[in-house]
Structure 1
């Protein structure tokens, strides 16, 4: 049996239809199973789009055929790996971050389709919102198709309550039978986000969330920070962070990682710790908790994946200006009368 012919044009058309259906479903004023259906459609849209990109680039979208079995196309997880490997994401967009976003939604989809998922809609929303924006950039770059031409963008954020931000509202005590399943999903999500951030990925391309944690109201004292607990004990808002995961780099390691990731026009010079010191003075990076962290008894700061991304984005010319201003600042400080 010959390998089936697959039209990248049809894949693109069906992908756009799936994404538009997802947006329409999510914005219905009343609908049960909203989050699950929306995620299924968004992941389907991504799977078709990824396969279309691979097909357009002349890459395989089928697994090797097994004897007496039909051809099988790549699952979304494997299609995503191939697109990352072949660097088919838009130029200037962090493919690792986009992959993390799709991976998080795919994991939720798998649990919802094959078993069930607890009420995690407020957790999923930031990933969905970011995924739609990522998808628009991807389709516009690869296929010159603008999703915005087919929808009213004002609809997407509409709702009776505001979406959550980095600190997430979570069910305090989901059904007993769902606790292990929910906890396992959240643990996997936290590991994915920690690894993606530590790799210096653009977290704005993943979601408006950096860390989540599930707590029973009977055990909230074990959290690093408890913001509030509803009177009825239904929801708890918690933020839990581990600086060993979110800020894993010393200054030397930070500069080394930045140099490994800097490439392209205007980013030819290897940076030094002096560049980092000048940037810290200019932008007050040590005072930014997203960038730096220091234990109250520690002597030096440690740095996050956001710091990596921030330093990578600056050009050599920008660093030259900052170094010059820093040098003038040091001279002025030295020349100033003491007293």
Structure 2
């Protein structure tokens, strides 16, 4: 049997149809099984779009054919890995972040049949919301197709308003048979967020809450996902943040990562530990738990992915100004000590 011909144009058309169907389903005023159906459609839209991007770039979209079996195209997970490996995401957009967002939805889709007894809508909502915006950027860059041409911006965020406290603290009371599966899913989701944040990824591209005007109000991090699960209303379990995952970097590793990511114009001067020290003095970074953490018995701080992103985002001119201020501060301190 010859390999089937696959048209990237048809893949894109079907992908857009799937995403528009997802938005339509989610925005129905009354809809049972809303989150599960929407996630299935969104993941399908991404899978087709990823395969179209690979096809357009001349990359393979089929697994190696097995004897006496038909050709099989890549699953969503593997298509995503190939797009990441070949760096087919839009310029200026962090592919790691987009991949984490899609991975979270794929994981939810794969587990949906086991999670029927748990109401996880508020947890999935920020990932769906961000995924639509990521998808629009991806399709527009790769295929010059704008999702907004087919739907109003008011509907694009998947809802008229964001749910209250969507991720920071979630209570679920599933049947006892579903509790272990729910906890397992939550733990996988936490690990994904922690790893993505630790890599210095743009968390705004992973999951964020937007108002109806698309003004970003909050980026989700692993630290936000503090979840309680009540088993038959008798016991509450709270998962605390593990600083070994959220703050894995020494100062040396932090500076290495920052320098590796500072490649944009006006952000390409190599930084040193002195620059980090000056920034810590200027902005009191060590007191910011999202940036730094120190064990009560420890002598040095460790740093998070948020610290990486923050340092990468500052311009060379900004660092130069801080160096000058810090030098003056040290001189004044030395003069005062001699007096």
Give the structure 2 partner of residue 292 of structure 1: 292
Alpha-carbon distance, 1:213 to partner: 2.9
Alpha-carbon distance, 1:334 to partner: 4.1
Distance 1:297 1:114 in 2: 43
Equivalent residue runs for 1:129-148 within 5 Å: 129-148=129-148
Structure 1 window deviating more from structure 2 (146-155 vs 129-138): it is: 146-155
Give the structure 2 partner of residue 53 of structure 1: 53
Distance 1:113 1:45 in 2: 20
Distance 2:46 2:164 in 1: 23
CA contact (8 A) 1:122 1:168 kept: no
Give the structure 1 partner of residue 169 of structure 2: 168
Alignment of 1:84 with 2:84, yes or no, is: yes
Give the structure 2 partner of residue 23 of structure 1: 23
Alpha-carbon distance, 1:298 to partner: 3.9
CA contact (8 A) 2:23 2:158 kept: no
Q: Deviations over 1:189-211 (max 9, x none)?
A: 11111111111111111113322
CA contact (8 A) 1:125 1:163 kept: no
Structure 2 stretches lacking a partner, 5+ long: 209-219
Alignment of 1:13 with 2:13, yes or no, is: yes
Structure 1 stretches lacking a partner, 5+ long: 224-238
Q: Deviations over 1:190-238 (max 9, x none)?
A: 1111111111111111113322434325444x63xxxxxxxxxxxxxxx
1:215 to 226, 229, 241: 229
Distance 2:15 2:52 in 1: 9
SS in 1 for 2:140: helix
TM-score for both structures, normalised by structure 1: 0.87
Q: How many aligned positions are there?
A: 322
Alpha-carbon distance, 1:322 to partner: 2.4
Alpha-carbon distance, 1:278 to partner: 1.5
Distance 1:84 1:161 in 2: 30
RMSD: 2.3
Q: Deviations over 1:257-281 (max 9, x none)?
A: 2223333444443211111112222
Structure 1 window deviating more from structure 2 (254-263 vs 128-137): it is: 254-263
Give the structure 2 partner of residue 254 of structure 1: 254
Alpha-carbon distance, 1:254 to partner: 1.3
Q: Deviations over 1:32-86 (max 9, x none)?
A: 0000000000000100110111111111111111222211111100000000000
SS in 1 for 2:227: coil
Distance 1:190 1:307 in 2: 19
Distance 2:144 2:246 in 1: 37
Q: Deviations over 1:272-318 (max 9, x none)?
A: 11111122223332232211223445433221111112212333333
Q: Per the alignment, do residues 113 and 177 of structure 1 end up closer, same or farther by CA in structure 2, a change over 3 Å counting?
A: closer
Q: Per the alignment, do residues 161 and 309 of structure 1 end up closer, same or farther by CA in structure 2, a change over 3 Å counting?
A: closer
Give the structure 2 partner of residue 318 of structure 1: 318
Distance 1:335 1:153 in 2: 59
